[in-house]
Structure 1
Amino acid sequence: MTPIEGATIGSVVVVGTGLIGTSIALALRQRGVRVFLADRDAAAVRLARELGAGEEWPSDRTVDLAIIAVPPRYVAQQLLDLQKNDAARVYTDVASVKVLPLGQAVQLGCDLSTYVAGHPLAGRERSGPAAARADLFLGRPWALCPSAENTAEALETVQELVTLCGGNAVRIGAEEHDRAVAVISHAPHVTAAAVAARLSEASDTALGLSGQGVRDVTRIAAGDPSLWTGILAGNAVPVAEVLEAVVADLSAVAGSLRAFAGEGTAVGGVTELLERGVRGTGRIPGKHGGPARTYTVVQVVIGDRPGELARLVQAAGETGVNIEDIRLEHAPGLPLGAAELYVQPEAAAALADGLRERGWHLPV
């Protein structure tokens, strides 16, 4: 990436060098922005610096933008402390809830004219600076929740931050934001954790039978519990409402299944939920935020050896077919697995034929 012509952000301080904060720092460094780092955890700052995310912040240095990357309940106090020291001309945060920090900022008497609440909707199940990536925000939505007090300069500066990081700014009210993330992020994390919790009690035999399906459903449950407890507490009511609706659906399905097992009655309630699930999945935006697309999967047997996946990707590239997504499924107890290549339906046959010609084995 190159600097944006006419950019006004020359220097920033990132307060909080976890996954999101360090990823922002890395993205800004690629754009030629001078980045300072601050965190209560000196080891986290040191690691972020070693990763090339920036330099340690001298607290008397004033910057163009302060980015507060701390848990939701600490955002407002951190904002107040920074503003008291005139740390920056504009301030923003990246917490995943917005009503709580905005409300606390008002109570503490923070200057809302220079503070624009934000939330990049990007992340990973891993946490900490070691998991950071400069490309984490490319093409991802970045919610901005402006208040009536915001100056035009503050809004423009935070919008520029999003552009520098490669994100897509979406303006949304704080309450609407929190209800939205309850549906698309917070409640799904809890339900994934509930499914994963059953695995902690499962037998070794059952776990030995597990495949990609259970990995897909439970992947996000590996997130840091202490971090997620803070997020969920900050958005408690909207998340509780979504979970109550999920519980009602599951209870109805459980009742239908018990009735079916006992009397052989119809399980229409089960089918109805499964059909709603298909419709809901179909509404998730597709690649680059566009309409959802249905891809064809081409399965390829792949050895569990260094360089094998790179060799497969190169071979696929030689066929001239664009790979939309890749997933790997390992065969238990065997030094091989299956690579699932997701492509446009009209390109599947050409990819399959091209890979076979290059010596790859595709299951029939």
Structure 2
Amino acid sequence: MKTALVIGTGLIGTSAALTLAGRGVAVHLVDHDPDRARTAAALGAGSDEPPPGRVDLAIVAVPPAHTAAVLAEAMRTGVARGYIDVASVKSGPRRELEDLDIDLSAYIGTHPMAGKETSGPLAATADLFEGRPWVLTPVSDTDTEVLNLALELVALCGAVPVVMDAAAHDRAVALVSHTPQLISSMVAARLEGADETFVRLCGQGIHDVTRIAASDPRMWIEILSANPGPVADVLADVAADLEETVESLRALQSADEAKRRGGAAGIANVLSRGNAGRSRVPGKHGAAPAAYETVAVLISDEPGELARIFADAGHAGVNIEDVRIDHATGQQAGLVQLMVGPAAADALSATLRERGWSIRR
């Protein structure tokens, strides 16, 4: 691939453009808002000037509601040898294109399983897709050259190609992406009118659960409007679990010992099933989940403290697998939780203590 056209310079489009431009591909940027394209170009994602001729690959990175129309226009004008979209729903855009009676041999639907709760070109990064699954949904009439271009894009972005049927993809993202977004928003909504004293007690758990609730509602309305049935099916199962859990909690309030035992069993059941489900979530680089040990370090809220703690961890020769920061309420301090392999935890703790850090294990 030598040339590419990115149509839509939001988070995904600009991130792909940054990666391709960094790999020596001549990238051209188009957006319905010229300022966004200029911003992406200023970030090094390519040129906001039109391509001088036909490009190798056109990447359509617009909301699902507009994907088919933008693809159809690009394909009618013949701007590229191959066309892909990166919309988070796959069945709808293809059906719309079929209804427009467009030759789809030069098109393949794709979806990189990467994103952030923030959007726009300024949120983009060249490493957004590294190690992440990138779904491809070819069909029998997909041209081999186009499939190869899509695979080349995935490889250049450092992602992992996953070939799926479009309908199966939509059911999958309903489970692992769309429903979690709604549930996160529902939990966060409980905080809107909560007493300020209660909110000040928020810890890492509520931060983890509600992080994606900061996402743009307008974007998610468009995504959910394109995949409502599969999401509703998953939420119906969640609703059944919620109803049973509420009944179990009410039973725990009963004066009847048998009802309390039944309530405890119901809660244990949902928690155990949660453990089992969580154990299936892939770990680092898509590998099997790994068990890490946490070394918590008390840290002051001063410039350079995080850099210093990572430098000191480096002296221990320990690889930090993950990091969480839990700020202390009402104080200019917090806990940095360093996740490491169990065999490395003691060495890291010892080194950090020697260098003056206060450790919580």
**Structures share fold, TM-score greater than 0.5:** yes
The residue number in structure 2 matching 1:288 is 285
1:271 aligns with 2:263: no
Superposition map of 1:335-354 within 5 A: 335-354=332-351
Pairwise CA distance, 1:183: 0.6
2: CA distance, partners of 1:111 / 1:157:
18
Q: Contact 2:5–2:51 (CA<8 Å) still a contact in 1?
A: no
Q: Contact 1:182–1:235 (CA<8 Å) still a contact in 2?
A: yes
Deviations 1:287-318 (A, max 9, x none): 11101111000001111111110110010011
Q: Contact 2:17–2:45 (CA<8 Å) still a contact in 1?
A: yes
**Unaligned stretches of 5+ residues in structure 2:** none
Using the size of structure 2 for normalisation, the TM-score is 0.97
**Unaligned stretches of 5+ residues in structure 1:** 1-8
The residue number in structure 2 matching 1:312 is 309
The amino acid that maps onto 1:159 is L
Greater Cα offset, 111-120 or 49-58 = 49-58
Using the size of structure 1 for normalisation, the TM-score is 0.96
2: CA distance, partners of 1:269 / 1:201:
30
Q: 1:134 aligned to 118, 126, 132, which one?
A: 126
Pairwise CA distance, 1:59: 6.4
Q: Contact 1:76–1:108 (CA<8 Å) still a contact in 2?
A: no
The amino acid that maps onto 1:31 is R
Q: 2:250 aligned to 255, 258, 265, which one?
A: 258
1:148 aligns with 2:145: no
2: CA distance, partners of 1:218 / 1:140:
22
2: CA distance, partners of 1:175 / 1:165:
25
> Number of residue pairs matched?
356
Deviations 1:245-290 (A, max 9, x none): 0011011101111122133522211110011011111110111110
2: CA distance, partners of 1:301 / 1:193:
30
The residue number in structure 2 matching 1:81 is 73
The amino acid that maps onto 1:223 is S
Greater Cα offset, 45-54 or 178-187 = 45-54
Deviations 1:182-204 (A, max 9, x none): 11000010010110111112111
Superposition map of 1:162-241 within 5 A: 162-241=154-233
Q: 1:331 aligned to 307, 311, 328, which one?
A: 328
Q: Contact 2:11–2:124 (CA<8 Å) still a contact in 1?
A: yes
Q: Contact 1:62–1:86 (CA<8 Å) still a contact in 2?
A: yes
1:17 aligns with 2:9: yes
Identity of aligned residues (%): 49
Deviations 1:66-86 (A, max 9, x none): 000011121111111001111
Q: Contact 1:256–1:269 (CA<8 Å) still a contact in 2?
A: yes
Q: Contact 1:60–1:87 (CA<8 Å) still a contact in 2?
A: no
